[in-house]
Chain A
């Protein structure tokens, strides 16, 4: 199997090197590691990688250059997997990026996640495989400000919902929570029913449905 080729964009030199080391260690091939969005766009068109891992906040304005670049790359090539790293939970959490190409092969994570190296590498693999992965803290934040049906979810269902939003399959969730896969299936069914969402087995559709629900029916719209 050929290694997954990655273009890495991160303006902090130390962290960029650390991330590159991590990726190599887990069998990815870093074809370019750059420090700003401009260079990221160039590197992607030069190397045609399988995956882009980019910091959201980069020079020159240190706001959302990385995100803008990622959205643009996705528009040009919907098949390109992108993981965006954010310094903090941002309101509206990169809705644009998640909406691109049905949200397949997209990840939105807090930067601090990278220190759990094995888990981080796992997330990257899932995203390359087409999964949608949302940082659990983002999901928690969204759940936290809900007043309506989400409050009807049991503690266990909320736990399952958070894992669903992270892009895990029923089997993976069952392993994490040490429950049977059938039990997880039942929980997911209950969640979707309580949130008035259509039943589906497609993990990405589930994630996106949940996110759309949380985003659009909250006390306020995004942005």
Chain B
């Protein structure tokens, strides 16, 4: 579904029309490739419509017979029902077999009049006839494809026919002075007999010529819009694709926040924190040279004390932004530090062969930190354990405690917040906390 990236507004190029239908509103439309692309689309429609139309017409033969019988009144209810059902079976059974290849061809051909990529359709999961048949007949997609096939063999010929008549009319008008030589030419009520009479028609025909590219582009564009609406598989698909895009952008945002936090932590640590330690050190030195009891000594001593407090505050602040142990030593070390800081004895088993992506480490750390806080506050547990295991494509973190259990995500926001964080990382959170304990919180994060 990578093609969806092109839908992001930042990427669309301003000033360039994306479809034939939109192109007609631009200045200089006639000089763009759009008229020619439209012609190509219209011309290639003809063989495609024929190829699809013949089998579809065959499937609908029972209905045609029924229609004829009904119009002549020469039928019985049983025969009518049989024809109706037979037609339905043929259309429902054979239709998708025609509609699927048709939809593939048409999705491809749509590029002629529509530069916006279509959302990819889920094809058969595996190779083979059975999965293919399942994908052709199952789900909502086949009905949309059938609907398009129906439009292609009914409305499209009608529309194209009208356009063809209009074009012929213009051609005949222009050629009228020549044509009258072979005999009178009739336009509806008017009949032209002499070349002189034909001249105004010829002029009108020539005047109408510039409109031809517009007519063609609008026709091709309208057809393309219908194809897009039906072969993009309806509003559901657009919504699904939108959802995928939204969750991706959420993940991108979360990733961006994480690297930003990391940058801020690094900046504070390398900059402000280092300088502050240096400054406090200088104050400590200055204190040495001042005679005790003097006002200067008192002031410097107070400054030194404040600087030390500030050092501690800054350390806490930086730790809150992103723990240094996590940045520098990785998840296992950071989890052990969390365990050391917890209000109860915590055993840590963390075996990870390599560093994981930033946001995975950060999420896992956050989950364990929150979970241990919950354990300390609410569980009444006497000890807890944390395990972090790297599997092929995911990180599994489990936090157990021997407390009273009964943890409920519905009460309190702690667990909901955890679930949100895990969801952003595309992970899963599972909680088992029967009344009486023990509680097990399991989080799986794709890595």
Contacts and interface: CB of A to CB of B under 8 A. Distances in A.
Interface of A: 12, 14-15, 17-19, 21-22, 25, 57, 62-63, 87-91, 111-112, 114-118, 141, 144-147, 219-220
A112 B277 contact: yes
Contacts of B328: 57, 62-63
A18 B275 CA distance: 10
A12 B277 CA distance: 10
A122 to B, nearest CB: 13
Contacts of A89: 337, 340
Contacts of B254: none
A90 B333 contact: yes
Contacts of B382: 147
B340 A145 contact: yes
A111 B277 contact: yes
Nearest to B333: A91
B261 interface: no
B333 A115 contact: no
Nearest to B276: A115
Contacts of A12: 270, 274, 277-278
A23 B388 CA distance: 44
14 contacts: A12-B274, A15-B277, A18-B278, A18-B282, A21-B285, A89-B337, A112-B308, A114-B281, A115-B283, A115-B284, A118-B284, A144-B340, A145-B346, A147-B382
A141 B342 CA distance: 10
Considering the complex of A and B, which 6 residue pairs feature the smallest CB-CB distances, nearest first?
A14-B278, A117-B284, A115-B280, A91-B336, A18-B281, A12-B274
The majority secondary structure among interface residues of chain B is helix
B325 interface: yes
Given A12-B274, A18-B277, A90-B329, 15 more contacts: A12-B270, A14-B274, A15-B274, A18-B278, A89-B337, A91-B340, A112-B315, A114-B281, A115-B283, A117-B281, A118-B284, A141-B340, A219-B345, A220-B336, A220-B347
B311 A90 contact: no
Nearest to B323: A88
A145 B284 contact: no
A19 B277 CA distance: 10
A146 B383 CA distance: 11
A132 B67 CA distance: 104
B324 interface: yes
B20 interface: no
A14 B337 contact: no
Contact of A90 (B285, B308, B325): B325
A21 B382 CA distance: 49
A145 B345 contact: yes
Contacts of B340: 89, 91, 141, 144-145
Contact of A115 (B308, B337, B345, B383): B308
B102 interface: no
Nearest to B315: A112
Given A87-B324, A88-B324, A144-B340, A15 B347 contact: no
A88 B312 CA distance: 12
Contact of B307 (A63, A90, A115): A115
A162 to B, nearest CB: 16
B274 A117 contact: no
